[in-house]
Structure 1
Amino acid sequence: MTSTLGDDLTHDAFLGGRVHVWQPRAGYRAGVDPVLLAASVPARAGQAVLDLGCGVGTAALCLGARVPGLDLVGIERQADYAALAARNGLEAFCADLTDMPEAVKTRSFDHVLANPPFFDRGAGASATDVGREAGRGAETPVAAWIDTAARRLAHKGYLHMIHRAARLPDLLAGAAGRLGSPETWPLCPRIGKPAELVIFRARKNGRAEFRQHFPIILHEGTQHERDGDSYRSEIQAVLRDGAALTL
C-alpha cells in the first residue's frame, strides 16, 4: 500500500518519544484518545490484538510499545491511512470492518481495540475534510463494530472501546447477546465535571453483570486556570511514560 498524501505529513511522537507515527498534516489526527485506549488493555506478550478502524496505527503501536511481543493487526477502510499505518510498522489491511479480508477472517484475537467515529452523521453536520469526517463522523452503527469484534475474538477475549459517554446506551445495546461482562470507566476532564468519554470493555462468553467503575479524572483542579499541561500525575505517566492505565 502507498499513501497518496505525499509529503503533506507530520512525524509525531507519542509516549514521550517511544512511538513515532506519520499522519496527515490536515484531516483526522490522533490525539490522547487512542493512547488512553491502548493503556487500558491488559495484554500479555504472545497475545494477538486487532485494532478496528486503526487509522495510522497509533493505539496498536502504543500498546505494542508497552507490551512487547504482541501480534498486532489493524483494519482501516481509508487507503491513505491504512498505508500510513503500514509505514508506521503495523500489519495493516485496507478493508471495511463489515467485509474483512480472508487473512483476518481466518484468525482469532485475544483483544480487539476500537476508537470508532464519535458522532452520528444522521444528527449533525459533516466535516469538509474527507479524512477528518471518516475519523469523526459515524456511518457504521456501533452495533456493527461490536458484532465484528465478537466474531474475531477468541473465547474469553476482550473488546476495548473508547467512545463518547452519551453513546453508552448504544454500546450496551450492541453488546447484548454478543458479548458479556460489560464494564465502563467514565473519563472526566476534572473533578466535578461530567464524563465526556468512556472506556468500555466486554468479554466473549463473559457472564458477569454490568459494572460501572469510579471515574478516571484526567486533569488537576476543578477548572482550567493556565496554559500548558495540567494532566494528573497518573495520566501524565500514561501519556508520557507509556504506563498502563490503572482500572
Structure 2
Amino acid sequence: MKGEETIDELRDYDLRLVQPRHGYRFSLDPLLLCEFAGVKDGERGVDLGTGCGVIPLVMARRAAHVEFVGVEHQQVMAGIAERNVLLNGLCEQVTILEEDVGRVRAHFPVSSFDLVTANPPYRRRGTGRISPRAGRDLARHESTAGLADFLAAAKYLVKPTGRICFISHPSRLVEFFTLATDLKLAPLRLRMVHGHGDADARMFMAELAKGRKGELKALPPLFVRDGGRHCGEEIKNVNGGSER
C-alpha cells in the first residue's frame, strides 16, 4: 500500500524493488550471495525463502537466458516478489512460488535445477531479539522450516552437476556442515564475511554439491568495510549501484 512501501533501485542491474517500509527489507547479504554463487548463461535456479525476490531478479540480470524460481511462504512477501517481477519486466525469466520450503517436492521433479540459493532465517525459534516491526521476525527466525529443511530441499532440487550456495550466521556454521554431512552433501567452498579487519565474522557463505566428492576450499575473507569505508571494487560490484 502507498506510504507503507518503498521502491529502491539497484542501478547496475537496472532493477527497481518494492519493499515494505517497516517490515523485512533485504540487506547486503543476498547481494553477497549472488556474487559468491554466480550464474551462467542458460542456467535454471531456485531461491529458497526469496523475500521480495531480490536474488532471482539479480541473477536474471547477471547472465543471458537465466530462469529462476523464488520460493516464499509468507503471502505478503510472495505478493511483493510477484509485483517486483512485473515491475522489472522479467516474467519470462522469474517465477514466484508461494509455498513452504518443506513442500517444494510437490512442485518440482528431483534434480531440476543447476543452482539452489538460500538466505534462510539466521536464528533458531525462540532465540535472539524480537523485532517490533511486523514481518521481520518471520524472516530472521525459523518458523515453519529450519536449516535442516532448507538443506534437504536444496539437495532434492539440485542436479548432481549443480551447486548449492547458502549464506548464514557464523553461529550456525557447525550445525550447517553437520547437517550437510548427514545429507551427504560435499562442501566445496567457504568464505567468511567480516565488517572490517578487526571484527569477528558476521556471516559465512558456503557452496555444497550433491553426489560428488570434493575438497573444501577456504577462500580469503571478505571485508565489507575498512575503517568505515567500503573496501575496493569487490563490494562496489556486490552493491550493484544500489540506491536505498
User: What TM-score do the two structures reach when normalised by structure 1?
Assistant: 0.86
**How many pairs does the alignment contain?**
232
Residue equivalent to 1:23: 19
Q: CA deviation at 1:214?
A: 1.7
Q: Is the 8 A contact 1:53 1:114 kept in 2?
A: yes
Q: Distance in 1 between matches of 2:232 and 2:100?
A: 37
Q: Which residue of 1 aligns with 2:238?
A: 238
Which residue, out of 188, 194, 208, partners 1:188?
194
Deviates more, 1:76-85 or 1:173-182: 173-182
Q: Share of identical aligned residues, percent?
A: 25
- How far did 1:17 drift? 5.8
Partner amino acid for 1:175? A
Letter in 2 for 1:189: G
SS at match of 2:204: strand
In 2 relative to 1, CA 105–15 (structure 1 residues): closer, same or farther, beyond 3 Å?
farther
Unmatched 5+ stretches in structure 2: 86-93
The match for 2:116 among 105, 112, 116 is 112
Amino acid at match of 1:113: T
Deviation at 1:108, TM superposition (A): 0.6
The residue aligned with 2:80 is 84
| Contact 1:188/1:218 (<8 A) preserved | yes
Aligned to 2:131: 127
Correspondence for 1:136: 140
* Deviation of the 1:107 alpha carbon: 6.6
Cα deviation digits, residues 11-44 of structure 1 (max 9, x gap): 1112546211111111100111111111112321
- On the 8 A contact 1:95/1:101 being kept in 2, the answer is no
* 2:181 matches 1:176: yes
CA distance 1:168–1:70, change in 2 (3 Å): same
Q: Is 1:209 paired with 2:215?
A: yes
1:82, 1:94 within 8 Å by CA — same for their partners in 2?
A: yes
Contact 1:45–1:70 (CA under 8 A) maintained in structure 2: yes
Verify the 8 A CA contact 1:187 1:198 in the aligned structure 2: yes
Give the alignment's TM-score, normalised by structure 2.
0.87
Q: Aligned letter for 2:191?
A: W
Which residue, out of 75, 90, 98, partners 2:102? 98
Counterpart of 1:26, as a letter, is H
Q: d(CA) in 1 for partners of 2:105 and 2:99? A: 7
Counterpart of 2:157 in structure 1 is 152
> Could you give the per-residue CA deviations for residues 106-165 of structure 1, whole angstroms, max 9, x where no partner exists?
671000010011112232343233411111112332111101100011112111111112
Q: Residue 52 of structure 1 corresponds to which residue in structure 2?
A: 48
* One-letter amino acid of the structure 2 residue matched with residue 213 of structure 1: L
Q: Which moved more, 1:39-48 or 1:52-61?
A: 39-48
In 2, Cα distance between equivalents of 1:194 and 1:74: 31
2:71 pairs with one of 75, 78, 81: 75
The DSSP-based 3-state class of the residue aligned with 1:59 is: helix
